[in-house]
Structure 1
């Protein structure tokens, strides 16, 4: 088993989204050749949505047997079901609604109007993860996990100088007083994310350059949470030229 970390730079956001979408389709097809089910973690944000829209627009998506794919999310805002701010709502609009998936293939976090408290919702999502857990684990081993990166280096809803990035004894946490609105959220924890076979970070913009540079330079995960996330087989940073300003030249890959 290899464990590689690569940085792939694209000239602009549009090219970035299209490239990641094409690689996603190819990788899912490869995985379905050797395993029955593929588990994918999705992310929100502008680039997360752009990648899914590019997948939806690709004729190659029709080559995939989507009935064998399960979709999860790395985190979610604690707002009502159907709220446009929810990551799952954005993902459905960008791609999932076009795939005619069975309800049991899509695993959204509970919503604030579900009748659950925030802590109960965290427990409920942990139970959902456990229902699909790999042998000896309380959660699936995700095949591809998409993550964005905030200008402060946060990933999912694990923020700098907050305890969330340090939690290792449960798969899902309730987040309160988030430095980014809304203040209440749900998030997968670091051990679950790091169990992923492949972590695909997708980020664009000059405001991400500093956090990315610090992470690649070995910053503390408490200071820059993205520094503490690494896939079991491969970790790839798909970025645009603006986000590459502080990436050491030696870390930039010329090919995937």
Structure 2
């Protein structure tokens, strides 16, 4: 099993979303043929939603047996269910609702009022992960885990200069002092993120260039949490030209543009 980081650069946000969508559809079909089922972790943010919309817009998405996929969320704003700012609300509007999935296929993180407090909510989602895990494991095998990267280098709700990025003895943590509103959030820890076979980070815009450059330069995870993300098989940064401004040329994959007919081996 090999692990390597790749940077795939696209001319603009629309091309970026379409390329990631095409790659995901083809890869998840392969995974389902091989395994019979799959676990996918979704993220929020502008590009996270754009990718999901592009998946739904692609006629090829009809070739996927969506009933075999369980969707999780790597982090969530601790807001009431249905709030437009929640990652799961955005994902449902962008794609999931249109797929007519069974309720158990979408594993939303808890909302206020469901548990005694946010710490108990984190424990409850950790229990859901454990219930779906193979025997002896604490979480399922994630075939694809999507992440956004903030201008400050944060991933999920693991922020710079916060203790959460260093937690290794829990699978889900409560962040109660997020530098971005809202202050209360729930998040996978880095060991869970890095258990994924494939981590796909999707980022666009000149404001992400510095964070991307530092992540690829293996900056401290205390300063740039994205630097600590590394999938078991592949770690791919899907970026637009603006976000790639500070990426050394030797780190950019020569096969820049990917379609279903132009595959990069991932096995």
Normalising by structure 2, we get a TM-score of: 0.95
> 1:18-65 CA distances to partner (integer Å, 9 max, x unpaired)?
000000000000101110210000000000000000001111000011
Aligned residues: 256
Distance 1:126 1:115, change over 3 A: closer
1:236 correspondence with 2:212: no
**Contact conserved, 2:17 with 2:50, CA < 8 A, in 1?**
yes
Quote the residue 1:31 is aligned against.
Answer: 31
Quote the residue 1:122 is aligned against.
Answer: 122
**Contact conserved, 1:172 with 1:188, CA < 8 A, in 2?**
yes
Quote the residue 2:140 is aligned against.
Answer: 140
Quote the residue 1:61 is aligned against.
Answer: 61
Quote the residue 1:174 is aligned against.
Answer: 174
**Contact conserved, 2:164 with 2:173, CA < 8 A, in 1?**
yes
The CA distance in 2 between the partners of 1:135 and 1:124, in whole Å, is: 19
**Contact conserved, 2:115 with 2:121, CA < 8 A, in 1?**
no
**Contact conserved, 1:122 with 1:172, CA < 8 A, in 2?**
yes
Pairwise CA distance, 1:114: 2.2
Pairwise CA distance, 1:115: 4.3
Alpha carbon RMSD of aligned pairs, Å? 0.8
Dislocated runs of 4+, deviation >6 Å: none
The CA distance in 2 between the partners of 1:163 and 1:89, in whole Å, is: 28
SS in 1 for 2:160: coil
The CA distance in 1 between the partners of 2:116 and 2:40, in whole Å, is: 25
SS in 2 for 1:245: helix
The CA distance in 1 between the partners of 2:115 and 2:169, in whole Å, is: 26
**Contact conserved, 1:6 with 1:251, CA < 8 A, in 2?**
yes
> 1:134-156 CA distances to partner (integer Å, 9 max, x unpaired)?
33211011000000000000000
> 1:151-209 CA distances to partner (integer Å, 9 max, x unpaired)?
00000000001000000001000001100000000000000000000000000000000
The CA distance in 2 between the partners of 1:110 and 1:37, in whole Å, is: 24
Normalising by structure 1, we get a TM-score of: 0.99
